[in-house]
A and B are shown apart, each in its own frame.
Chain A
Amino acid sequence: MIRRRGAALALLLALATVATRVEAQDTRRSGFMFMSPGTQAMQRDDMENPGMLAVLDGAELWAKPAGTSGRSCADCHGGGAEAMRGVAARYPAFDATRGEAIDLAGRILQCRAERQGDAPPPRESRTLLALTAFVAHRARGMPVAPDADPRMTPVVEAGRALWHKRLGQLDLSCAQCHDDNAGQKLASAPIPEAHPTGYPIYRLEWQTTGSLQRRIRGCLTGVRAEPFAYGADEYIALEAFLMERARGMEIETPGVRP
């Protein structure tokens, strides 16, 4: 008994050392760290974070019956604070029925169409962003924990390949900016590491809330590449790769970005 307890303690200690070592080596930094103190303050305080307006919209939509089913999201998933807890930290996930990866917004569209029997709102619509922000906010503070389904591996690898592919007239890959030059300045803007931890974000440039796909679109047009269509497999693969790359980092939704 005593010996067993000793062993358990030793194991705990070992785990603790491993944990601190991992932490010490973890140099990944959220985009939050690259922002000015004023913009950081805007994100940190819910009362000053305009992204919270989308979360509030989402909370109302969550409880509102829709479509031919006459049911609300809350009717099936619960109306309490525990509903959807941590779910967003696992997305994009593998959808066994469809046999493909699906992002969080795609999952919500699926429930809207197939379970509520309503016309699914378009990508980037206020309704979809609000519901996505509401669900993702329910994972705030939790570590990114990608779906363990092995069928996600090829999706992550497709995303990784895209990340390293040179794109557009400027012939630049995502990695050249976000891996090789993170922390440097592009014009006057610092180049962040491109972690997907704050999405949907309130971007000051947009003056509204938008998705990770819209954010990546900005980088694609920035290198003079043709952006993919909203909902395209390329975005889902990139997001799956970025989530894998951000494994263990904290979800911050709703993030604020310049």
Chain B
Amino acid sequence: MDLPTASRRLVLGGGLALLAISPARATPEAMRAAMQGFAGGAEPRPGRVRLEMPTLVENGNAVPTTVIVDSPMTAADHVVEIALFNERNPLPDIARFTLGPRCGQAWVSTRIRLGDTQSVHALARMNDGSVWSASAELIVTLPACIEG
């Protein structure tokens, strides 16, 4: 059997479906604007934030995403807010999480949608106003044999 031909044709179906799903896409510029809005004048510094995501994504509809910020989470020194951004979905925002000393640890886990291979950014704002960042590059593959 000629699997390569089969794959090309099946991929074609998948590719078309993907295009239809994304009528408009955020741009790296839109993402940067959204990130600046969150940082509110502070310059995000790389560090203190860990963004755990698979590098090879099996299905972009549910990508396990965990953010951990290195912080004692005390009244004097804690994370106030964490935000997730993406480059190529229709909208740059993914979620914002409000935390405080009552969390004990700055640890959040969720599942996100990614329409395409792209980068995801996590920003964390501390109570002193400083903003820290991490990012991840992901390759999003499509399942074969999708409907329609």
Contacts and interface: CB of A to CB of B under 8 A. Distances in A.
On whether A and B touch (CB less than 8 Å), the answer reads yes
Contacts, number: 75
A170 B143 contact: no
B76 interface: no
Given A181-B3, A222-B10, A189 B141 contact: yes
Interface in A155-195: 170, 172, 176, 180-181, 184-189, 191
B7 A207 contact: no
A187 B144 contact: yes
A38 interface: yes
Which of A180, A204, A207 lies at the interface centre, i.e. has the most chain B CB atoms within 10 A of its CB? A204
Nearest to B141: A188
Interface string A185-223: 111110100000000000011010000000001110111
Nearest to B3: A181
B147 A36 contact: no
A39 interface: yes
Interface stretch (B23-31, B51-59, B81-89): B51-59
Main secondary structure of the interface of B (DSSP, over half): loop
B1 A187 contact: no
Contact of B1 (A176, A205, A207, A217): A176
Contact of B146 (A41, A184, A218): A218
B21 to A, nearest CB: 12
A106 interface: no
A204 B58 contact: yes
Contact of B7 (A41, A180, A187, A217): A187
Nearest to A223: B6
Contacts of B48: none
A16 B148 CA distance: 49
Nearest to B113: A207
A65 B45 CA distance: 60
Given A204-B62, A221-B145, A36 B54 contact: yes
Contact of A187 (B14, B54, B56, B62): B14
A170 B145 CA distance: 12
A39 B145 CA distance: 18
A39 B58 contact: yes
A218 B141 contact: no
A172 B14 CA distance: 18
A207 B61 contact: yes
Contacts of A188: 141-142, 144
Interface in A203-253: 204-205, 207, 217-219, 221-224
Given A39-B58, A204-B58, A205-B146, A186 B3 contact: yes
B142 A187 contact: yes
Contact of B142 (A180, A189, A224): A189
Contact of A38 (B11, B64, B148): B64
16 contacts: A35-B58, A36-B58, A38-B54, A38-B63, A170-B9, A181-B1, A184-B3, A186-B3, A186-B6, A187-B142, A187-B144, A205-B59, A205-B146, A207-B62, A223-B6, A258-B59
